[in-house]
A and B are shown apart, each in its own frame.
Chain A
């Protein structure tokens, strides 16, 4: 372990990333799609001289700014904050590889911010052509930041040829780049339409402008849904084999994959039946339902995107437990506790008797008392397993998975982690350390629930 591990009870630290990331994407896609919406619609309103439509767009702008510039921007920083806390090694790898991608994205952020504020605060003061130009600067900058960040996040799922020959460009233009740019662009367009429906249905009681908005937003929304589907299918096609298998093997991911397609179909059908065929249906309730379905589809998609990478954080490079894949043999040889600075210090502080010449002697670990063995087993659990598993209760808690397993089975399972479940990282410790983890796991394993299938002895007794 290169870095200390942050223990977040019940939830696990990486789940904080997922929570903040989901909240962020629900707004950041609107920030991108909204840029295109304003650029196209303001141009249309100026061209047709539709003052009422312009007035509506002006009313929509503060809603957009308050949501995207405040919540979107701060949660964006929040993701960065959280990945550094919960996944520091992966963040270090990403930053070293893509520092100039992020720096370039920052330039687009500056342009986004400046143009957004000028667009809003100088409405009615700038000549129409300049106002439109500013809107397009925002739209292009926002889309460019989507493209840049997608290159980096897509890399985490499938670095492609970067693994053989690491370079910025190989990493950036990875197999997942184009599919994800297509689906995210579609998502941005669709989600924006859904936000616009909700805002307009709440702020406009009816009339021509509302019909115009509904009419003009529906085709882009349908286009967005098509792009999501095309990008999503390409995403599936270009998944690394392990990620594709994870979708089939992990029941929760199978359910979520079905759910996301179902939600997309529901949104598509509602769009067609509602705003496209029956604009009169667009009441606040209908618009809110549409937006909720859209947000649910997005959240599901983001969760799947994060989950299918297992056992990696950066595919083929950084494992979920913050170890470089290439370090695993060394960890197995030297010992997990010995190989990490923080774990080694912990042992040195508590159990100096197991150390000789600065090295932890595995055989001495087994000579410790039962209580101490459990504690060291917990230390290994925290650093090796807690990134995906809570202990006794909480997210993917390991305790309930272990009930009544015999010790030998547990030890064997730990020593062959990635062979029993390929989406688990390989065991990265010595056989003695596997015994310590087993000691700990057995101490937190609950009793067999009452009423569940009986043991063989009980079945025999019943005969």
Chain B
């Protein structure tokens, strides 16, 4: 077991801990949306692409958007990873070094998977069949995404379990140097968290399908939207079952005692219950949509409901992570020395960047509506 770290000996945090947590959680939420779409969506796309009618239409739609989705998913992943390294370097680096080859493999797999997605997406032509190699490339990408998620969970779950480091290290070392072939695959929490994310991915894909069909897909007609309501409901049920099943196993089967006690008491109790039960909210909305039909309001509600699921999950995960690591270094006791100037630079750029981003998206909306743009009018 690793010895506890005296927080006062750790380098001071360059920002208040709440600030680091806020952006870590925000970044994680932003990352989860596109990541969920490629995690479950790519697999579903490949299956439905071989069918006809609306399933094929849905698959073609997601396939053509997938390269953009992946780009933003990877990009948004930078934020939580950056702030993880600010908050817990003493836990993050050892865990990833002990599993280095698995951790590094994520980059290689992602590169191949991303090109696989492009190969598949560029082969989507409504009027002609896709060459077999492009379809195969799509499958390679889908499988790689599933593996990447396991490898990522492998590193992250080990980060939260310093008590495992020593045995893994001693079993995979040459003269005390880590060979990087260690792994945490025996940790049950990994095998609960991975399907939990998969369950969430199905739910996100369901909500996204409705929003896209309602607001963005110009080819979506009444018949397609009708099909979407049924399809999203099925996806939602599958996602909720996987999420709740694996989540129950995660909470009751793999949480350490102190984490369990902490999360099931005080103000954390309603948060824990809500996090576990939140997919029901999405299911209720999807059920309403199934009965009453898709409208701008119900589509938006489905999106908001799924955002609540992801947000609750991200917030709970952050609290659990802090408690898991508190044994070794209570993160809230690490000295802080905020770097206000650069923080202002970031926040200022963030604000200006958001304005520019909104302006660009506004131009797209105008194109879709057939209106002249601001600069032209």
Contacts and interface: CB of A to CB of B under 8 A. Distances in A.
Note whether A and B form a binding pair.
yes
B296 interface: no
A249 interface: no
A375 B107 contact: no
A4 B177 contact: yes
A69 B71 contact: yes
A114 interface: yes
Most buried by A among B90, B115, B346: B346
B176 A92 contact: no
A383 B107 CA distance: 26
A434 to B, nearest CB: 17
A68 to B, nearest CB: 11
Interface stretch (B37-45, B92-100, B317-325): B92-100
A4 B349 contact: no
A102 B115 CA distance: 26
Contact of B100 (A6, A133, A378): A6
Contact of A118 (B89, B180, B360): B360
Interface string A104-138: 10111111011101100110011101100110010
Interface stretch (A219-227, A342-350, A420-428): A342-350
Interface in A63-106: 66, 69-71, 73-75, 77-78, 80-82, 84-85, 88, 91-93, 95-104, 106
Interface stretch (B125-133, B258-266, B368-376): B368-376
A84 B177 contact: no
Interface string B14-39: 11000000010000000000000000
Nearest to B376: A127
Contacts of A342: 169, 176
B106 A81 contact: yes
Given A6-B178, A111-B357, A382-B175, A96 B14 contact: yes
Contacts of B114: 70, 74
B345 A100 contact: yes
Nearest to B68: A117
Contact of A168 (B2, B177, B341): B341
B85 A8 contact: no
B86 A70 contact: no
A95 B82 contact: yes
Given A95-B82, A382-B177, A386-B177, A107 B170 contact: no
A346 B176 contact: yes
A4 B91 CA distance: 11
Contact of A111 (B339, B353, B373): B353
B110 interface: yes
A5 interface: yes
Contacts of B145: none
Contacts of A82: 104
A381 interface: yes
Given A84-B92, A378-B175, A77 B23 contact: no
B65 to A, nearest CB: 10
Contacts of A80: 81
Given A71-B111, A118-B364, A100 B103 contact: no
A7 interface: yes
Nearest to B115: A70
Contacts of B339: 99-100, 167-168
B75 interface: yes
Contacts of B166: 345
A381 B98 CA distance: 19
B74 A8 contact: no
A3 interface: yes
A161 to B, nearest CB: 16
Nearest to B112: A74
A54 B109 CA distance: 35
B357 A122 contact: no
B224 interface: no
Contacts of B367: 122, 125-126
A308 interface: no
A104 B357 CA distance: 15
Nearest to B107: A78
Interface in B154-180: 166, 169-170, 173-180
Contacts of B120: none
B342 A107 contact: no
Interface in A379-393: 379, 381-383, 386
Contacts of B118: 66, 70
B79 interface: yes
B224 to A, nearest CB: 22
B97 A101 contact: no
A85 B104 contact: yes
A323 to B, nearest CB: 15
Interface in A268-301: none
Nearest to B79: A106
B375 A133 contact: yes
A108 B346 CA distance: 10
A133 B363 CA distance: 11
Contacts of B106: 81
A113 B81 CA distance: 19
Contact of B96 (A84, A108, A109, A343): A84
Contacts of A126: 363, 367, 373
B120 to A, nearest CB: 13
Contacts of A4: 94, 97-98, 169, 177-178
Contact of B89 (A92, A98, A345): A92
A125 B372 CA distance: 11
Nearest to A340: B176
B191 interface: no
Nearest to A118: B360
A96 to B, nearest CB: 5
28 contacts: A4-B98, A5-B178, A73-B71, A73-B74, A73-B75, A74-B114, A75-B111, A77-B77, A78-B104, A81-B107, A82-B104, A85-B96, A92-B89, A92-B93, A99-B83, A106-B82, A107-B350, A110-B75, A113-B75, A115-B360, A117-B68, A118-B364, A125-B367, A126-B363, A129-B376, A130-B376, A137-B356, A379-B177
Given A69-B67, A71-B111, A382-B176, 6 more contacts: A88-B93, A95-B85, A96-B12, A102-B82, A110-B72, A114-B360
Interface of B: 2-3, 11-15, 23, 67-68, 71-72, 74-75, 77-79, 81-83, 85-86, 89-90, 92-94, 96-98, 100, 103-104, 106-107, 110-111, 114-115, 118, 166, 169-170, 173-180, 339, 341-343, 345-346, 349-350, 353, 356-357, 360-361, 363-364, 367, 372-373, 375-376
The 6 closest A-B pairs by CB, nearest first: A100-B342, A7-B177, A88-B93, A378-B175, A382-B177, A346-B176
